[in-house]
């Protein structure tokens, strides 16, 4: 079996990339292994921790990591997936080797406003969108043609 390492990147590694990493590691089996990192690592978003716990996934002890540290360590990934806006994704380092770069844009939970319950509801929506996108990625990534074609998977 071929194992493929996937890196999810967002701004602070505090929300979107953490959720994507957790979902891929939960649903990807042994074939897909995920890590996540941020361009400017911050602190885990407490609302994200809460909505992930609601579905039985505990990310509360996850560290936030710096994507540039992973790059300097010489880490190798078969795919780097940005889960932030396109402008921010442009600042992500280019990892060496045959790396598939994908861009999935999701709303940033740290920017949500409203009552605490409204913010949680918006965060749940992003969580569910990320879960569905990761599921679609897993379905595509099962096929060798995914890894050999040059165009990106629709997000």
From 9, 10, 20, 89, the catalytic residue: 10
Longest dimension (CA), the chain: 47
pTM: 0.89
From 24, 32, 67, 84, the catalytic residue: 84
Residue 155 has a pLDDT of 45
Angle ∠(52,112,115) on CA atoms, nearest 5: 90
Q: Which residue has the tokens 């897993």?
A: 138
Q: Which residue has the tokens 């194992």?
A: 3
> Is residue 84 annotated as part of the catalytic site, yes or no?
yes
Average pLDDT of the chain is: 89
Whole-angstrom CA distances from 99 to 56, 81, 93 are: 32, 10, 12
Q: Which residues of the chain have pLDDT under 50?
A: 152-155
Tokens (6 digits) for 46: 């407490």
From 83, 92, 120, 153, the catalytic residue: 92
Tokens (6 digits) for 87: 């402008």
> Is residue 73 annotated as part of the catalytic site, yes or no?
no
Tokens (6 digits) for 83: 């889960």
Measured CA to CA, the distance from residue 29 to residue 108 in angstroms comes to 27
**Coil/strand/helix, residue 38:** strand
> Is residue 120 annotated as part of the catalytic site, yes or no?
no
- pLDDT, tens digit (0-9, with 9 covering 90-100), for 20-58: 999 999 999 899 999 999 988 999 999 999 999 999 999
């Amino acid at each position: 079996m071929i194992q493929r390492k996937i890196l999810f990147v967002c701004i602070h590694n505090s929300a979107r990339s953490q959720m994507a990493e957790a979902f891929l590691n939960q649903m990807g089996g042994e074939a897909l292994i995920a890590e996540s990192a941020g361009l400017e690592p911050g602190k885990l978003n407490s609302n994200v921790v809460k909505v992930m716990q609601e579905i039985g996934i505990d990310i509360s002890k996850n560290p936030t990591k710096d994507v540039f540290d992973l790059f300097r360590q010489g880490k190798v990934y078969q795919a780097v997936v940005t889960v932030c806006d396109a402008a921010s994704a442009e600042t992500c380092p280019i990892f060496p080797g045959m790396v598939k770069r994908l861009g999935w844009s999701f709303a940033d939970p740290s920017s949500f406003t409203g009552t605490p319950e409204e913010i949680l509801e918006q965060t749940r929506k992003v969580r569910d969108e990320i879960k569905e996108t990761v599921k679609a990625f897993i379905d595509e990534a099962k096929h060798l043609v995914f890894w050999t074609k040059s165009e990106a998977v629709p997000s």
